[in-house]
Amino acid sequence: MTYQDLIDACQPQWQTYTHHSFVMQLGQGTLPHTCFMHYLKQDFLFLKQYARAYALAIYKARTLADMRRALPSVAALLDHEIAHHVDYCGAWHLTEQDMEQEAEDVATVAYTRYVLDAGMQGDIVDLYVALAPCAIGYAAIGNMLINDTQTVFDTNPYRSWIDLYSGEDYQQGVAAATVYLNNLLAEISVHSQRGQQLIQTFKVATEMEIAFWQQGLNVGVVDSE
């Protein structure tokens, strides 16, 4: 099987995730600022746990090649992606320390700990499948937004977010990651029990992504009440 089989097996969830109202409003620049700030702070906490998950991938790897493959992801998460969030929030005088002290919301806990547990319970394939909706989905969203005629660029306050995830660096990183994921999946039949388990893991992780977007939107609802 390939990563595309994972996506095909949960099309409704994948569409809801990659075209979530949070995403579309972000692309059009109409997303309430409180929603984006809440999301960004929670995503900062998410990235921290996500880096733990890539460290787990090094622990789970059987070969030096696989260990070395996961290492730059840990480094990139702890530096590059986190730095984007800190830079953005810095305009509101939030430091990295402030952001690390924020409380994790339910959907943040749900998604991150699901990935970590799926990876710990299973093997390195389970772990990468649980990680996949985030990387592949964000690349799909970045690509979708940059090609969407409704996307606003010049005056969009969330322009740096769109640039980050539609940028060459991120897109090429994910493209390489999908090649690797396909290697991991190559021996597994989509119709086997193992294949169905992996689909289940991918589906739950995608559902947790949806809950994560919704969590950001809900803040706006509460605020406007």
Contact positions toward a copy of itself, by CB under 8 A?
48, 51-52, 55-56, 58-64, 67-68, 70-71, 74-75, 78, 82, 96, 100, 103-104, 106-107, 109-110, 113-114, 116-117, 120-123, 126, 187, 189, 192-194, 197, 204, 207-208, 211
Structure tokens given for 115 = 């990935």
Give the contacts of 18 (CB within 8 A, at least 6 positions apart).
Answer: 137, 140, 141, 144
The distance of closest approach from Cβ of residue 192 to a copy of itself in the complex, given in angstroms and rounded to an integer, is: 5
The distance of closest approach from Cβ of residue 30 to a copy of itself in the complex, given in angstroms and rounded to an integer, is: 25
Q: Which is nearer to a copy of itself, 48 or 159 (CB)?
A: 48
The distance of closest approach from Cβ of residue 68 to a copy of itself in the complex, given in angstroms and rounded to an integer, is: 6
Contact predicate 108/46, CB 8 Å? yes
Q: Which is nearer to a copy of itself, 6 or 82 (CB)?
A: 82
The distance of closest approach from Cβ of residue 114 to a copy of itself in the complex, given in angstroms and rounded to an integer, is: 5
